[in-house]
Amino acid sequence: MLKKTPFHERTSQLCEGESWLDWAGHLSANSYELDHSHEYYAVRTGCGIFDVSPLYKYHVRGRDAMALLDRMSTRNVAKCKVGQIVYTAWCDDDGHIVDDGTIARLGENFFRLTTAMSLLYWLEDVGFGMDVEIEEVSQEQGALAIQGPTSKVLLQQLADANLDDLKYFRIIETKLAGVPVRIGRNGYTGDLGYEVFMDANDGLAVWDALMEKSDEYKLRPAGHIALDMVRIEAGLVLIDAEFMSATNAMYPIQRTTPFELGLDWVVNLKKSHFIGLRALREEKARGPAWTTVGLQIDVVALEALYARFGMPLILPYHSWTDPVPLYADAKQGRHIGKATSGTWSPILKRYVALARLKPEAAKIGNSLHIEMTVEGQRFTVPATVVETPFFDPPRKRA
């Protein structure tokens, strides 16, 4: 039986279509209204609130806490200061990505790790023989992501701390509506946003306090459909879409490295050691087999394709994460990669996708062709390699 998050008593009343999915063994809303559009626009023009409690959460404490995480992480955890959050990845011995997530340094020898998949066994293996305590707190802590242009002014109405002092990818302990919380300035939307962690028993009090301000700050509960659209706009990779965990992959072709995902910036090859370092150094020297880029799909050409069937242009109403073949030419003569996820961006008025390409085809401005199916027939439509993120407002970091 699927578990309920600390906010389910409220979210279940708001989920009009009873549209749920299984996120890490929890009921999680796809959308709250029958149409997800209001939720999407709330994140981009007002404020969206996501229940992200199903994230796996671990507290890592002790004299060797930093050493354990540094051994696992591709980044230099020693440089993470108290009150700082880092996004990172971790790999197997062959340099294939196991998962990605965030590490928050809550004290000198106290860290919180959040991940998409269960990692307790991995942490215990990596930390064998170390002076460290690993505690999974996934059920004990509720988590909300408050994301969008009004998120700061909304939270400031309820927070004891001055959020002007909270910089990008930093975290503070404070109270929100009288409830002890940790607020991090980060998120998965590519916009100004915050993640709030609290004791699960205090979750409803925080939710209710936020929702009391919903009309004033254009706050709406938002589900996975809206979240997937905005994370693609932000150029952020997703497990089981852009990559599969190396621990779940059955075949070599299903395994991916950070370099192939465009995550070069989270790999510190100057470290003396981390799991997979030697393999990643070798890959860097020879060059990755693939690279992840952004695509902009030609909607004018797509419209002309539909017109051949006497049909109006049909754009995806929400994001997709099924792999789609990419070719160097319109006649599908040379396969050069696949699009891994895509969406029509209502805010940008562009049809965009994330794609894994052969390096020689991944230059910005390069033209290629993406496969499209209309009325059971397969065609190709032109697309162009473009920079990511597609959406990157200055307020995100300001």
Structure tokens at 5: 């998050």
- Coil/strand/helix, residue 208: helix
- From the list 87, 168, 101, 143, the residue with the least C-alpha distance to 393 is 168
Tell me the pTM.
0.97
pLDDT, position 385: 98
CATH number of 291-389: 2.40.30.110
d(CA 54, CA 211): 20
Measured in whole angstroms, the distance separating CA 33 from the mean position of its chain's CA atoms is 22
Tens of pLDDT along the chain (398 residues) come to: 899 999 999 999 999 999 999 999 999 999 999 999 999 999 999 999 999 999 999 999 999 999 999 999 999 999 999 999 999 999 999 999 999 999 999 999 999 999 999 999 999 999 999 999 999 999 999 999 999 999 999 999 999 999 999 999 999 999 999 999 999 999 999 999 999 999 999 999 999 999 999 999 999 999 999 999 999 999 999 999 999 999 999 999 999 999 999 999 999 999 999 999 999 999 999 999 999 999 999 999 999 999 999 999 999 999 999 999 999 999 999 999 999 999 999 999 999 999 999 999 999 999 999 999 999 999 999 999 999 999 999 999 99
Measured between its terminal Cα atoms, the distance across the chain in Å is: 43
Q: What is the pLDDT of residues 137-170, one digit of tens each?
A: 999 999 999 999 999 999 999 999 999 999 999 9
Angle at 136 between CA 11 and CA 30, to 5 degrees: 25
E-only strand ranges, the chain: 20-23, 26-29, 47-51, 56-61, 85-91, 97-107, 110-115, 133-136, 141-147, 171-176, 179-184, 193-199, 219-221, 291-297, 324-327, 335-345, 350-357, 367-374, 377-386
Q: Give residues with Cβ within 8 angstroms of 172, minimum separation 6.
A: 83, 161, 165, 166, 182, 183
Give burial (CB, 10 Å; 0-12/13-18/19+) of 121.
exposed
Measured in whole angstroms, the distance separating CA 281 from the mean position of its chain's CA atoms is 26
Q: What is the pLDDT of residues 304-354, one digit of tens each?
A: 999 999 999 999 999 999 999 999 999 999 999 999 999 999 999 999 999
What CATH architecture does domain 8-55+139-222 belong to? 2-Layer Sandwich (3.30)
d(CA 37, CA 14): 15
Q: Are 268 and 71 in contact (CB under 8 A)?
A: no
The full set of domain ranges for the chain reads 8-55+139-222, 291-389
Beta bridge partners of 382: 369
Q: Are 220 and 32 in contact (CB under 8 A)?
A: yes
Give me the helix-helix angle, 151-158 and 203-211, nearest 10°.
120
- β-strand pairing of 335-345 with 377-386: unpaired
DSSP run (H or E) holding 376: none
Is the previous residue joined to 389 through a cis bond, with omega within 30 degrees of 0? yes
Give the phi and the psi of residue 225 in degrees, each rounded to 5: -60, -50
